[in-house]
Chain A
Amino acid sequence: MTTTAPARVARRLLGPAVFVAALALWQAWAAHKDSFLVPTVTAVAERAWDVWPTSGFIDQVTATLGRFAAGYVLGAAIGVAAGLVLGSSRAARRAFEPLQEFLGSTPAIAIVPAAIVIFGLGDATRVAVIAFAVCFPVLVSTIEGVRAVSPETRDTARMLHVGPAELILRIYAPAALPSIVAGLRVALAIGLIVTVISEFVVGSGDGVGRYILVQRTLYDAPGVYGGILFLGLLGYVLNRLFVVVERRVLSWHYGAAGESAR
C-alpha cells in the first residue's frame, strides 16, 4: 500500500476532526434540548475553567490522590511480597490457591460494609478497600513472573547455595519485574475505580467523587460533568505517567528483548 504525504496528514487529522465534530454535535444537541440534564460543552468547559484552579477543588483532588496513593502502595506492597513468597514455594501456592481465588474474585464493593464496621466511616476504610482491590492483580502477576524464572536459573542458584531470602530478592524479584509491572499497571485502573467507589459510598468527606455528588445535589450539571471529565483525565494522565516510568525502569528488559529478537 502506498500512501502519499498529504494522505498521511489527512489520516492523522481524521481522529481529532471526528472528536471535534462529536463535541460540536453534543453542543448543538444540548443547546437545542435546553435541559438541565444535558449541559453544553461550553458550559462544562467554562465551569471547569472557573473551578479547577480554585484551592477548594485542588483540595478535593489532593484528597482523592492521597487515598488512592496510600491504598495503591499498600495493596501493591502486600501483593508483591506475598507473590514472591507464593511464587517460590509450590506447596504454599497450592495451599493458598482456593482462598486467593475466592478473595480475588470478590468485588471490592462487597467488603466495603464490613470494612466500615471495622474501620469506621473514614479514610482507613477507603484505603483498606483500595488496597484490597489492588492487591490481587499484583499478587497474581507476581506469582506468574516468579514461576516463569527458568529452571536453569533455579538450578544454578541451588548449586551455588543461594539462601532463600537472597534467592527471592536477588533472583526472583528482578526476573519477575516485567510481570510485576504489568500487574501494577492493571491495578492502576482498578485502584482509581475503587477510589471513586469509596468516595461515593463511604460516609461523607472529600475527594473528586464527593465533589460530583455535592454538585449533583446543587443541580450544577456542568459541575457534575466536569468532575466526571476530570476523573477521566486523571486516569489518562496516571496511565501515561506509568508508561513513562515503566520505560525507564524496564529499559534493560526491552533492550534485551529487542536484541534477542524473539
Chain B
Amino acid sequence: MRRANLPGWLFVVLVTAVAEAGVRLFELQDSVAAPSAALRALGDGLWSGTLTGEIATTLESYLEGLAVATVVGVALGLAIGSWRMLLDALSVVIEFLRPIPAVALIPVAILFFGLGMPMRRFVVAYAAVWPILIGTLYGALGTDRVLHDVARTSGATRLGTVVRVTLPASLPSIATGIRVSAAVALQVAITAEFFIGTDGIGAYMKHERLSFHLPQLYAAILLTGALGYAINRALRTTERRVVFWVGEAPTEAP
C-alpha cells in the first residue's frame, strides 16, 4: 500500500490558508467563499441532511445509469469482439453514434422521458456506454488467439470460450473503460440536474448560485469534488485488486 503523502496534504493546508487570507484581506466574499465559510456550510449541509439528500439523488441516477452501461457495454463489446460478422455489421453505426455528446441529448431525452429519473438514467447510460464498449471490444480483439484455440480444441463451446477466455482476458481494458466512463457519467448526471433544476446536487448548485449563497455553493462544489475523488480512488483500488496481474499503471510509454 502507498504511504500517506504528508507534503501533499501540507500543501493542501497551505493553499487553503492562503485562500482564506486572500479572501479576508481583499474582501472578496462577494466573488468567492472563504474556505472556512465553505467548510462550515459543508458541515451544516451534511449535518442537516440537505446536502446528503441531494447527493443521494445524484448518486441514484448515476449508479443506475452506470450499471446499465456496464452490462450493455461489456455484453455488446464481447459479442462484437468475438464475432467478426457483428463487427463488420455494426462498425458504421457505432462510428456514427459514438461522437454524439451525451449532454446534447438532454433536451431530447426530456421530451421522451420527462424530468424524472428515467431521463437521467438514459443520458448517463448513453454517455457511459461508449468507453466501456470500446474498451471491451479492444480487449476482446486483443485476446491471444492461442488461448482461443486451446479452449476450442478442449471442447469448449463458442459461448463458453467467450465467457471463460475472452472475458477474463479483456478485464484490464474493461476496467479502464469503466474508469473513464465513471468520470464522464458523473459529469453528465450533474449537468442533467443543473439543466432541469428540480433535484440533485446539480440543481442545488444552480439554486445556491441564483440566491447568491456562496458558502453553500462552495460546499456543494467541495462535496462533488470529494465524490469524484472517492469514485476515482475506489475504482483504482478495485482495479488493482481485480486485475492484479496487470500491475501498476505503465510508466514506460508504449
Contacts and interface: CB of A to CB of B under 8 A. Distances in A.
A114 B92 contact: no
Contact of B195 (A19, A98, A200): A200
Given A107-B190, A145-B253, A212 B107 contact: yes
Contacts of A147: 251
**Chain B, interface size: which category?**
35 or more
Given A110-B225, A148-B251, A118 B32 contact: yes
A145 B252 CA distance: 8
Most chain B beta-carbon neighbours within 10 Å: one of A12, A97, A114, A225: A114
Contacts of B7: 91, 94-95
Interface in A61-105: 91, 94-99, 101-103, 105
27 contacts: A91-B7, A94-B7, A95-B7, A96-B11, A98-B5, A98-B9, A101-B229, A105-B229, A106-B224, A109-B191, A110-B205, A110-B224, A113-B205, A114-B218, A117-B212, A117-B217, A193-B184, A196-B101, A196-B103, A201-B191, A201-B194, A201-B206, A216-B108, A227-B104, A228-B105, A232-B96, A234-B99
Interface in B69-112: 85, 88-93, 95-97, 99-108, 111-112
Given A19-B92, A96-B11, A232 B229 contact: no
Contacts of A178: 253
A16 interface: yes
A155 B26 CA distance: 47
A233 interface: yes
A231 B104 contact: yes
Contact of A235 (B99, B186, B218): B99
A145 B253 CA distance: 7
Interface string A164-191: 0000000000000011000000000110
Top 9 A-B residue pairs of the complex, sorted by shortest distance between their CB atoms: A235-B99, A105-B228, A113-B209, A232-B100, A106-B225, A15-B92, A110-B224, A98-B8, A19-B92
Contacts of A194: 187
A104 to B, nearest CB: 8
Interface of B: 5, 7-12, 15, 31-32, 85, 88-93, 95-97, 99-108, 111-112, 183-184, 186-187, 190-191, 194-195, 202, 205-206, 208-209, 212, 214, 217-218, 220-221, 224-226, 228-229, 231-232, 251-253
B91 A15 contact: yes
A75 to B, nearest CB: 15
A134 to B, nearest CB: 13
Interface residues of A, number: 63
Contacts of A108: 187
Contact of B103 (A95, A99, A200): A200
A11 B224 contact: no
Contacts of B221: 106, 110-111, 113-114
Interface in A12-64: 12, 14-16, 18-19, 22, 37
Given A105-B229, A106-B228, A193-B184, A225 B108 contact: yes
Given A113-B208, A114-B32, A196 B104 contact: yes
B32 A113 contact: no
B99 A233 contact: yes
A200 B11 contact: no
Contacts of B100: 228-229, 231-232, 235
Dominant SS among interface residues on chain B: helix
Contacts of A107: 183, 186-187, 190, 224, 228
B23 to A, nearest CB: 12
A97 to B, nearest CB: 5
B218 to A, nearest CB: 7
A99 to B, nearest CB: 5
A201 B254 CA distance: 39
A54 B198 CA distance: 36
A187 B205 CA distance: 25
Contacts of B15: 99
B87 to A, nearest CB: 9
B217 A113 contact: yes
A121 to B, nearest CB: 11
Nearest to B107: A216
